[in-house]
Amino acid sequence: MDRIEQAVILAAGEGQRLRPFTALKPKVMIPIANKPIIQYVVEALVKNGIRQVVVVVGYRKEQVIDFFGSGGQFGAEMVYLTQEQQLGTAHALSQAREVAEDKFLVLPGDNIIESSAIADLVTVKPNSILIKEQENVSKYGVVTLRQGKVADIVEKPREAGSNLVNTGIYALSKEVFEFVEGELDLPAALRRMIAHHPLRALEAKGTWLDVVYPWDILQLNDLALHQIPAQIGGTIEQGVIISGAVSIGKDTVIRSNSYIMGPALIGEGCQIGPGAYILPATSIGDNVYISPFAQIKNSVIGNNSHIGPNCTIQDSIIDRGCQLKGHIVARSDETEVKVDGEHHWVQIGAMLGEYCTLEDNVIIQPGVKIGNHARIKALKLIGENVPDEGLVV
């Protein structure tokens, strides 16, 4: 069977709509269940026998390169190309013209995919596109088919003529480079191409989800946690109750009378409790300190963070290095969140960027974003967004 042996991952973008989480790191390096998003893509490729991986990097590219290196520890052989200006996906792919083989996969680096989702694409004949049924298609490129071939791709249509969306995953031949010149976005280049070469459609069978808005992080985290097997690598003191699929990293200590309900993931070198409550769909990074009687539910806590005593954290994202003192409340509710001029009604708690410091008895209203390196003094009610390096006194 003639297989595709090479993949190009497009990982140059910033992800403005995901601020504050992309101010200091590229979108592809946002952690989901304690792994950067792009790692899921690389692992899916390797499981399908694709080890030659070209990564087009750009915004804060050194973080991607430093994490993967040559790719050996992930079972891949990785090389990097730089898109100096983030002008779009077609422009990003054009950087790979000189190294691309006769046929190759193209994948976005900011999607979580299961290996089964791309299994059929590895053996399919180029040129082909991976599509997926979605209920809400407004934020995607909608694909219209005619006799199994792509008739059109319309980006973010007001009225959808189909519930099939473009995953941004393709099996392409070098012919595509004739059409990317002068185009910024890859769907536009493909629309030009289908006038000359048929583009086949293949429906993704496994999980495919992308991160567009901050609350998508929680959805993907929940999904990823359901795939993680239970394992105990740390020390569990007497009186601890663990229910469901819970994974605990090495050198982590779960102190007495704590309660952990899975799916949940706790990294390495953490101190949890005593008397802490970790409730479902929560991931906790490495070297995190969860103080006595803190309650955390459906949240993402980044590496090296400290959650003080009697804190209540719900449906929230707390990036790495944050220091929360005692009695801090980040409750969840349905609220309107404005992102990049768009208004969304979502269930969300607080969204904290990297290295924030919050002193005692701070209450954060649902949907509030607190920027990187922000500082908030004690006894404050935070009802509006706080910018990077902001100070609330």
Q: Is residue 224 part of a domain?
A: no
Structure tokens at 276: 């802490």
- Check: CB of residue 12 under 8 Å from CB of residue 184: no
Mean pLDDT on 120-141:
78
Distance CA 281, CA 292 (A): 20
Residues 110 and 150 in one domain: yes
Structure tokens at 328: 């801090």
183 vs 260, higher pLDDT: 260
For residue range 303-342, list pLDDT tens digits in order: 999 999 999 999 999 999 999 999 999 999 999 998 888 8
Q: Is residue 344 part of a domain?
A: yes
Residues 172 and 286 in one domain: no
Percentage of the residues of the chain whose pLDDT score is greater than 70: 96
Distances (CA, A) of 121 to 70, 218, 265, 368: 25, 28, 31, 41
159 vs 385, higher pLDDT: 385
pLDDT at 137: 62
Residues 67 and 97 in one domain: yes
Final residue belonging to a domain, choices 185, 212, 239: 212
Q: What type of residue sits at position 320?
A: R
Is 60 exceeded by the pLDDT of residue 346?
yes
Domain enclosing residue 279, as ranges: 230-392
DSSP element (H, E) containing 132: strand 128-133
Residues 153 and 237 in one domain: no
Q: Is residue 222 part of a domain?
A: no
Phi/psi at 170 (nearest 5 deg)? -140, 155
Residues 148 and 284 in one domain: no
For residue range 189-212, list pLDDT tens digits in order: 888 888 888 888 877 777 777 888
pLDDT at 138: 67
Residues 281 and 369 in one domain: yes
Q: In this structure, what CATH number is given to the domain that contains residue 191?
A: 3.90.550.10
Is 70 exceeded by the pLDDT of residue 271?
yes
Q: In this structure, what CATH number is given to the domain that contains residue 235?
A: 2.160.10.10
Residues 40 and 185 in one domain: yes
Domain count, the chain: 2
Residues 302 and 176 in one domain: no
Q: What is the pTM of this model?
A: 0.91
Mean pLDDT on 251-258:
97
